[in-house]
Amino acid sequence: SYLDPLKNMMNESSYHVDSKLELIDDKLNSFLHLQSNSSKKGDLSENICRKLLCKKYPDWEFNDVSNESYSGDCRAIKTSIGEILYEFKNYDTNVNNEQVLKFHRDLEYTGIKLGIFVSNTSGIVGKKSIEWEIIQKNKIVVYVSNIGYNGYGCIIGTELLIRSRLKQKKIV
């Protein structure tokens, strides 16, 4: 007689575990489907990075400019170092040089002198995992790649840019 309540408890527990596993399975399937749609995958990457930036730099203003031509994905304004243009990639393969040159063109078109190019899930052709360069004689671009889905590449790039600008001001 004491086994029946234990069996009932086991059945109820098993039912709850099964329903939780189904919920996890549904979410995982949704995520994997999202990853097969490059547009949604890009949107997810952009949203993750913008939210991280807003949290880390609450006094700055970040604008989604991904739907504007020649404007990158995000623009930071009202910063301590000047406007920053961001480009976020979430590719399965290395980002090609054409995309890098497109970002350089976006910097030229907008007149912004500071840029951060982040590839969360792949490398960038011709670039190290973390690298910076001066382009067009007066623009600084920081490249960060392969940091992962967490989006922290945009924070790393921003911190490097802040540090380089602070050092530059001390020299001048």
pLDDT digits over 46-71, tens only? Answer: 888 999 999 999 999 999 999 999 99
Q: What is the pLDDT of residue 171?
A: 54
Residue 22: the pLDDT is: 75
**Where would I find the beta strands (DSSP E) of 44-165?**
61-64, 74-77, 84-89, 114-119, 130-135, 139-145
* pLDDT the model gives residue 20: 76
State the pLDDT at residue 53: 97
Token pair listed for 3: 């086994």
CA dihedral of 45, 50, 52, 53, whole degrees rounded to 10: 140
Structure confidence at residue 34 (pLDDT): 52
What's the pLDDT at 63?
96
Please identify every stretch of the chain with a pLDDT value under 50, giving residue numbers as ranges: 172
Cβ atoms of 116 and 84 within 8 Å: the answer is yes
Whole-number Å distance between alpha carbons of 93 and 83: 30
Q: Pick left, alpha or beta for residue 135 (phi over 0 → left; psi -120 to 50 → alpha; otherwise beta).
A: beta
Per the listing, tokens 């004491």 go with 2
- Bridge partners of residue 77, in order along the sequence: 61
